[in-house]
Amino acid sequence: MGHSFGRDSGATIEELKSQINIVDVIGRVVPLKRAGANYKGVCPFHNEKTPSFVVSEQKQIFTCFGCGATGDVIEFTKRYYNLDFPEAVEKLAKEHGIEIKIGGSGNQEREKYYEINKEAARFFYRAFTEGKNPGYSYMKKRGIEDAILKKFGIGYADESWDSLYQYFKNKGVEEKVLLELGLISEKNGKYYDKFRNRVIFPIINTSGKVIGFGGRAIGDAMPKYLNSPENMVFQKKNNIYALNISKQDVGKEGYAILVEGYMDVISLYQHGVRNVGASLGTALTENQARLLKRYTRNVVLSYDADTAGRNAALRGIDVLGSEDIKVKVLHVTDGKDPDEFIKKNGKGDFLKLVDSALSMTDYKLNAAKNGLDLKTEDGKIDYMKRASDILRKLSPVEADIYIKKLAGELKIAEGAIKLEILGNNNTAPTVATRRRHEEEESRRELSGMEATVLKVLIINPCFAEKLLECDGIIESELGRKILNLMFELYGLRGGFDISDITDSLDPVESQAFTSAMDGIIVAGNEEQVFDECIRTWRLGNAVKKEQELIDRLALADEETGSDSIKELTEELMKVQREINSFGGRK
């Protein structure tokens, strides 16, 4: 017998969680290995090679010691499937055969929108299948089989101005809801269907909910493609067309093919290339990349070869690459799009195009040649300027490979290309060079605590003796240099002032030091301020040590041994007592 749960009832949510094992839920999507009392795996929320993602069966929680993600089974479901709280609870309940009713007007409204979209999809599908109509004739002319039309739920919006509106009006559905979902439009107080004389492509998310529609004009109506507007249940940036159908094929093949149009998806699918989807006519987004990443780390972009298609591919490369997805790009060579190509040449030839698709760096370098004549010296120089921007972002090994490749292609010495990447006379620093400069600058900066401690020592040098027990409180290179000067002057003279310090520093260091000192005001309570700095520093060290011990305990496995675990636990308790002695965390 099922249970019913209210969203706002903590007890009922706990009852739901008590019937679900977090290890089973996470184990479906993250390979887990037993590690002592816990399970370990590679975190699905950030890029890592060494597993730091721990699932506790006893506590029914997950924790990643790499990115800090943590929570219970509902939190994991929310994060992994990009759901809100009610959707996550509903998903878990449905998967485990538990009857659940989630309260909250927002969720109820969302469910109502899903149902209306579903009913609209059925309306369009009946119009497409139950009698002769231009939509069906158009799709048959495009060579799409009945089984595929059914698989994708293809429909038809007739030429009438208000057949869908009248259908929903008779069901008592409010106009404002139909307007928000983009099923009808309004002008001068009159309502009419938004989609008219169009083939309808239902857009369904990976949870199987109808979230919107795309409509392809059959005649000369403009625009050729019309999509549902953004609303509560439909955000283009979060969804990939047809991934609800193709996600298992994507997983099986080990990569996804992203195309531009609905017809490209359907045609490829019919011809046996089924690991395919489309980005709903928008530039690829981070959310779409994360959605794809659930199923694969490899994507082939198959966009049009025109300027817009090339630009879309270049943007897609960067978005997918930022999510650590390996990207290749192909442009069809016979026919303007994948639909035409595969109809003319078949699956085998299309897969050859996939195999010969360019890697993201090759594609970027190829695109950089656009509009240049590489037979001329000016063309080569302009190309090298563009190419150097691309190579500068690569790892040293990757850059070396492409430097050799470009040197052979352009008949330019490798050393000259390397100098171009570094910048003439190093005026255009690489990422690594900039990082070194940043590190050098940071070594010449003082933290707030360091500046305060040094200011107190200038006011009252005798406090220097207290620092002998606090090795590490001054960490920056500039701070250590100043502190050593202070100890030296204190030992020689028994005191010092600010000019004694600045005279021993270079101009940049001196400026940094005096600026830091000007920003610190200690109004006659040097000892209290000094002691508070030491307390804060010791507390910070203890908190870091506590977290380190917690991490080590969480990751302990059978090979760690009970004695080692006992020692770690005792050390943790000692550190926690120390934290409490400092007054606890603030």
Angle at 364 between CA 363 and CA 370, to 5 degrees: 95
pLDDT score of 68 more than 60: yes
Looking at 184, 219, 234, which one is the last position of a domain? 234
Looking at 402, 423, 441, which one is the last position of a domain? 441
Tokens of 257: 């093919």
Pairing of strands 198-204, 210-217: antiparallel
Looking at 95, 129, 157, which one is the last position of a domain? 95
pLDDT at 585: 61
250 and 181 in a single domain? The answer is: no
pLDDT score of 555 more than 70: no
499 and 537 in a single domain? The answer is: no
What is the distance between the alpha carbons of residues 430 and 403, in angstroms, rounded to a whole number? 15
pLDDT at 433: 46
pLDDT tier for residue 242 given thresholds of 50, 70 and 90: very high
402 and 492 in a single domain? The answer is: no
395 and 514 in a single domain? The answer is: no
Residue 494 lies in a domain: yes
Q: How many domains is the chain built from? A: 6
87 and 168 in a single domain? The answer is: no
Residue 100 lies in a domain: no
- CATH at residue 345: 3.40.1360.10
- DSSP letter for 294, please: T
Residue 82 lies in a domain: yes
pLDDT tens digits, 341-353: 999 999 999 999 9
pLDDT at 283: 77
Termini Cα distance of the chain: 49
For residue 96, the tally of other CB atoms under 10 A from its CB is: 14
pLDDT tens digits, 94-147: 888 776 655 444 557 888 999 999 999 999 999 999 999 999 999 999 999 999
Residue 207 lies in a domain: yes
Residue 3 lies in a domain: no
35 and 65 in a single domain? The answer is: yes
139 and 113 in a single domain? The answer is: yes
Tokens of 94: 């449905």
pLDDT tens digits, 30-54: 999 888 778 899 999 888 888 889 8
- DSSP letter for 234, please: B
pLDDT score of 536 more than 70: yes
pLDDT score of 440 more than 60: no
- List, in sequence order, the alpha helices (H) in 221-357: 243-253, 262-270, 286-293, 307-322, 338-355
83 and 201 in a single domain? The answer is: no
150 and 229 in a single domain? The answer is: yes
Residue 4 lies in a domain: no
254 and 218 in a single domain? The answer is: no
Q: What is the pTM of this model?
A: 0.59
pLDDT score of 276 more than 80: yes
Tokens of 447: 């933290």
pLDDT at 586: 54
Identify which has the larger pLDDT, 429 or 453: 453
355 and 245 in a single domain? The answer is: yes
Q: How far is CA 400 from CA 366, 392, 406, in A?
A: 17, 11, 10
Residue 527 lies in a domain: no
In the chain, count H helices and then E strands.
25, 16
Average pLDDT for the chain: 83
What average pLDDT does the segment 564-582 reach? Answer: 81
- DSSP letter for 45, please: S
- CATH at residue 197: 3.90.980.10
109 and 183 in a single domain? The answer is: yes
Q: State the residue range of the domain holding 18.
A: 10-95
pLDDT at 122: 97
What is the distance between the alpha carbons of residues 124 and 116, in angstroms, rounded to a whole number? 12
Cis peptide before 223 (omega within 30 of 0): yes
